[in-house]
Amino acid sequence: MDQERQDPLNTREFVALWNEAKGEHLGQRLAEALTGLTARGVLPALSERERSVLAQAIQLAGDPAAGTPVALQYLETLTRDGSGSPPGA
């Protein structure tokens, strides 16, 4: 959200901007939570790649169009081939 944004021209643009802002906000909250868990010794320090994978899985799990089964499929796919692409992407 570093760039100055213009008002959306239509509902589709508004939803896209909303989803982007929500994703950024949730990503920041996740980073803070992971940092706190690492500091307390609950989790080992995670690399940027590991944090990204975890964030993607959490977002998939919370997406009504995807859900927990798709999040698990994403993690299982990474286990097998390491592609890093969410299912269906």
Two tokens at 45? 């320090």
**How many domains does the chain fold into?**
1
Percent of the chain with pLDDT over 70: 85
Asked if residue 76 belongs to a domain, the reply is: yes
Asked if residue 4 belongs to a domain, the reply is: no
| Alpha helices, H only, 3-89 | 11-39, 48-62, 68-81
Mean of pLDDT values over 35-43: 93
Backbone angles phi, psi at 86, to 5 degrees: -65, 150
- Residues 62 and 84: their CA atoms lie apart, in Å, by 18
**What residue numbers bound the domain in which 18 lies?**
11-81
Asked if residue 75 belongs to a domain, the reply is: yes
Asked if residue 22 belongs to a domain, the reply is: yes
Q: Which residue has the tokens 């992971």?
A: 34
Asked if residue 6 belongs to a domain, the reply is: no
- Residues 21 and 38: their CA atoms lie apart, in Å, by 26
What are the pLDDT digits (tens) for 61-75? 988 899 999 999 999
